Amino acid sequence: MNLAVAKAAVIETRGLGKVYSPGTQAEVVALKGVDLRIARGDFVAIMGPSGSGKSTLMNLIGCLDTASSGSYACDGVDVSTLDAEQLAALRRDKIGFVFQGFNLLPRMSALDNVAMPLGYARVPVQERQRMAREALASVGLAERAGHLPSELSGGQQQRVAIARALINQPPILLADEPTGALDSRTGEEILALFKRLRDADHTVIIITHDPEVARHADRIFMMLDGELQEQARA
């Protein structure tokens, strides 16, 4: 990494907090004062025990949920100033998601699932199909384009979800346990794909339980009871 070049923050949170069901018996303090600064071209891993707040943070970074306290700037834009429509546009243009669980639509082919984020109006059908085929090929699934999710293995479904997240070439890729359902060889291929994205100046943030996976990232953060700390690298 060239430290002489100041890299712009794509993700910057200050004192970010999240409380679910505040003021009720079901209240859960899921995030506490998270300060996070991630630059363009960073490949970051977030680790931590189950229930520690990793997906909660991912949902906030991905503008799928709003914080209870603190601030978040996505690519320099304070998201608290945006209305629902502007947030949706920000998500569409800036962020690709790979969810924990794949969130594929069961009645659509792999190809149509991948093409979905392109929208119907914005890109002509031929172009959508071409881009979706290319994205599927990049995760090694060109031959499975016509299959339904139920006709694919868990690892293949995961790769379809990754292809879908990449179809718009989003500057930020968020992936919650992207290699969790994969055998180690396929996992390595996905990690290689993430590194290529990083090298092409995308920002990649993955959540993982696996230290072997996290090791591939440039920076590793640990979430414990809603508090985030960066690990020193050896």
Ligand X SMILES: Nc1ncnc2c1ncn2[C@@H]1O[C@H](COP(=O)(O)OP(=O)(O)OP(=O)(O)O)[C@@H](O)[C@H]1O
Residue 180 interacting with ligand X (CB under 6 A): no
Beta strand extents in the chain (DSSP E only): 9-20, 28-39, 43-47, 69-74, 77-78, 95-98, 172-176, 203-207, 219-224, 227-230
171 binds, among Mg ion, ligand X, none (CB under 5 to 8 A by kind): none
Contacting ligand X (CB under 6 A), which of 9, 11, 16, 30?
Answer: 30
179 binds, among ligand X, Mg ion, none (CB under 5 to 8 A by kind): none
Residue 128 interacting with ligand X (CB under 6 A): no
148 binds, among ligand X, Mg ion, none (CB under 5 to 8 A by kind): none
**DSSP of 138-159:** HTT-GGGTT--GGGS-HHHHHH
Q: 99-118: string of b/e by CB count within 10 Å (b at 16+)?
A: beebebeeeebbbbbbbbbb
**DSSP of 181-228:** TS-HHHHHHHHHHHHHHHHTT-EEEEE-S-HHHHTTSSEEEEEETTEE
Which is closer to ligand X, CB of 189 or CB of 227?
227
Site track 202-231 with Mg ion (rule: CB under 5 A), x = hit: ------------------------------
Which is closer to Mg ion, CB of 13 or CB of 55?
55
Contacting ligand X (CB under 6 A), which of 50, 81, 126, 150?
Answer: 50
Which is closer to ligand X, CB of 17 or CB of 140?
17
d(CA 145, CA 42): 31
Closest distance to ligand X from the beta carbon of 139 (Å) = 23
Closest distance to Mg ion from the beta carbon of 100 (Å) = 5
Contacting Mg ion (CB under 5 A), which of 55, 186, 203, 208?
Answer: 55
d(CA 186, CA 181): 10
Which residues of this protein are in contact with Mg ion, per CB under 5 A? 55, 100
Contact residues: ligand X, CB under 6 A: 20-21, 28, 30, 48, 50-56, 100
